[in-house]
Amino acid sequence: MIITLGTTVLPAYSEITGIITPNASENITLDGSIHVDFVNKRRGWKIRWNLLDATYYEQIMTLYNLQFSSGNFNNLTIDTEGITALPVYMKISQRDIKYNGGFVENFELELIEQDGV
């Protein structure tokens, strides 16, 4: 599976998880019944690297920072999933710096699609 973010091909990952988040409002009344306003749902992906070369980490951080400086989403393409140029919001986890800064350990990138489906 080849994952491209903007024009950057992401390095081989340790794990990828697909996420579906509902956009709904739940209300429970005093008698215990529930009412739900269903709006839509949003897809996302968590990509994890157990050990990532610092050069790749810097490329990902450049894309991450770009969304804040430009105010624009990066486009995601996942070849095997049929996803092409899907605007996504990027979130990152904390990282462990290893081997005198040459590698990053236990790093996770979360990508959330801009529009609900």
Parse the chain into domains and list their residue ranges: 3-23+39-104
- The count of other CB atoms within 10 Å of the CB of residue 52 is 23
pLDDT per residue rounded down to tens, the chain (117 residues): 899 999 999 999 999 999 999 999 999 999 999 999 999 999 999 999 999 999 999 999 999 999 999 999 999 999 988 899 999 999 999 888 888 889 999 999 999 999 887
The DSSP code sequence of 83-113 is EEEEEEEEEE---EEETTTTEEEEEEEEEEE
Q: Which pLDDT score, from 0 to 100, does residue 98 have?
A: 87
Q: How far is CA 50 from the centre of its chain?
A: 16
Q: How far is CA 54 from the centre of its chain?
A: 19
Q: Please tell me the distance from the alpha carbon of residue 101 to that of residue 65, in angstroms, as a whole number.
A: 20
Q: Does the global pTM surpass 0.75?
A: yes
Q: Which pLDDT score, from 0 to 100, does residue 95 have?
A: 86
Q: How far is CA 31 from the centre of its chain?
A: 39
103's tokens: 């590698």
Q: Which pLDDT score, from 0 to 100, does residue 55 have?
A: 96
